[in-house]
Amino acid sequence: MDKNKLIQKWLADELTEEENNVFATLDEAPFYTKIIEDATVFKASNFSKMPDFETFKARVEEDKTSVKKLQWFAPMLKIASAFAILFGLYYSFFYNNLTDIETSVAQKTTIELPDSSIVVLNALSEVKYNASEWDDKRAIELQGEAFFDVAKGSKFDVITPSGTVSVLGTEFNVKQRGAIFEVTCYEGTVRVVTETGTEILKVGDKFLEINKTIKTSKHTVPSPQWVDNMSQFERIPVYEVLAELERQYGIQITSQDIDTEQLFTGGFVHDNLEDALMAIAEPLGLHYEILKQNKVRLLISE
C-alpha cells in the first residue's frame, strides 16, 4: 500500500492488523506516534481555525446518532491539525534546501558544492543534493555525466542508478547513461561500488561497465575532454556515440542498416556539427545527410 494512504488510514484508526504491522515498520512511525501523544494534551489556541475544519466539525456535532464517533473525532481534529503543521514545517525546511540542477541539450554548467568542491555537469544531466544536511549526509545523486574537482580533505558519495562512487579529495569523472557506467580517476583515489563488487581506482585508472560486463583500463589525459568541448571514446558501442552526439547538438539521428552495437574509437567536437558527423561517419564507412528540423540521417557508403 502507498505510504501516504497507510498514514491516512492510521490517522482514521482504520488499519487492519496486517496494515498496522506494516505501519509499525515505517521509520516515521515514532514521529507520528509522538504527535498522537502530544495531541492528548493539546489545547486549542486563539488562532482562527480553517473554515473547512469548522464546517466539517459542525456537521459531525449535528449528527446525534453516533456519540462514540463524535467523541473520537474531536481529538482527531487536533491530531490532524498538529500533524499538518509539523509535516508542513518539515517539508518546507527539507525540500527548500534540496538543490536540483539539470542541463538541457548542448548545455554544460559548473556548480559549487557546500564544501567548495566543483562539479561540471555535461549535457542532459542532473545532480541533486541537500545543502542543509551536507555536513551529516554528503551524498549527491547523479543522472548523466559530471566531472568532480573535490576540495582538499572533503569526502562525499556520488550515487547513480548503476553504482556509488566514494571519494576523498580527488578529481574524477562519472558517466551513467543507460547500460553504460564509467568512472575515470584523474587525481587521488576513488572507490566504485556496484552490484558486482568494489573497485579502487587510482590516478590514471578507468572503470567501465557495459551491460554488467566490467573492464578496467588506463588513461593518460589530465582531465575529461568533454569539459573542453570534445567527446572522446575508446571501444564504445556506436549507439552511445550517436546518443552523445544528439545530446551535444540537440539533433535526432536515424540510421539505416547500420550495426550500432559495433565498437567505436575516436571523438568529435562540440562546436561544429559537420566536423563532428564527419569524424564519426568516415571511420565507420558511412555518409550522412543533414535534414530539416535538426534531423540527421546516417547511411552506409556505397
Poorest-pLDDT segment among 4-18, 134-148, 205-219 = 4-18
Q: Report the C-alpha gap between 190 and 166 in whole angstroms.
A: 6
Closest CA to 173 of 191, 146, 144, 133: 146
Together in a domain, 83 and 144: no
* 104 assigned to some structural domain: no
Same-domain status, 125 and 58? no
Task: Select the more confidently predicted residue: 197 or 89.
Answer: 197
Where does the pLDDT of residue 96 fall: very low under 50, low under 70, confident under 90, or very high at 90 and above? low
Cα dihedral 139, 151, 183, 178, rounded to 10, equals 40
State how many domains the chain has. Answer: 3
Terminal Cα-to-Cα distance of the chain (whole angstroms): 59
Q: What is the pLDDT of residue 75?
A: 53
The set of cell numbers assigned to 179 is 547500460
Kindly state whether residues 211 and 122 are assigned to the same domain.
yes
Q: What is the pLDDT of residues 169-187, one digit of tens each?
A: 899 999 999 999 999 999 9
The whole-number pLDDT of residue 89 equals 44
Distance CA 117, CA 114 (A): 7
Structural domain boundaries, residue 171 = 118-224
Is there a single domain that holds both residue 242 and residue 277?
yes
Mean pLDDT along residues 213-242: 96
Span of 43-52, 189-198, 254-263 with lowest mean pLDDT: 43-52
Mean pLDDT of 283-299: 92
Last residue of a domain, one of 224, 247, 277: 224
pLDDT of residue 68: 46
Answer whether residue 67 shows pLDDT above 60.
no
pLDDT above 80 for 30: no
Which of 166, 191, 224 finishes a domain?
Answer: 224
What pLDDT is attached to residue 64? 45
Task: Look at residue 285 in the predicted model and tell me its pLDDT.
Answer: 93
Question: By mean pLDDT, which of 11-15, 133-137, 178-182, 236-240 is the weakest?
Answer: 11-15
Question: Does a structural domain hold residue 152?
Answer: yes
pLDDT band at 80 (very low <50, low <70, confident <90, very high): low
For residue 22, name the pLDDT band (cuts at 50, 70, 90). Answer: confident
Q: Would you call 244 helix, strand, or coil by DSSP?
A: helix
**Sign of CA pseudo-dihedral 10, 11, 13, 14:** negative
Verify that 290 and 245 share a domain, yes or no.
Answer: yes
Position 94 pLDDT exceeds 50: no
Q: What is the pLDDT of residues 97-153, one digit of tens each?
A: 789 999 999 999 999 999 999 999 999 999 999 998 999 889 999 999 999 999 998
Given a cut of 60, whether residue 51 has pLDDT beyond it is no
pLDDT at 29: 72
Higher pLDDT, 151 or 96: 151
What pLDDT is stored for residue 17 in this prediction?
76
CA 299 to CA 181: how far, in whole Å? 29
Give backbone dihedrals phi and psi of 296, rounded to 5 degrees, phi first.
-130, 140
Its pTM stands at 0.68
Q: Where among 224, 257, 290 does a domain terminate?
A: 224
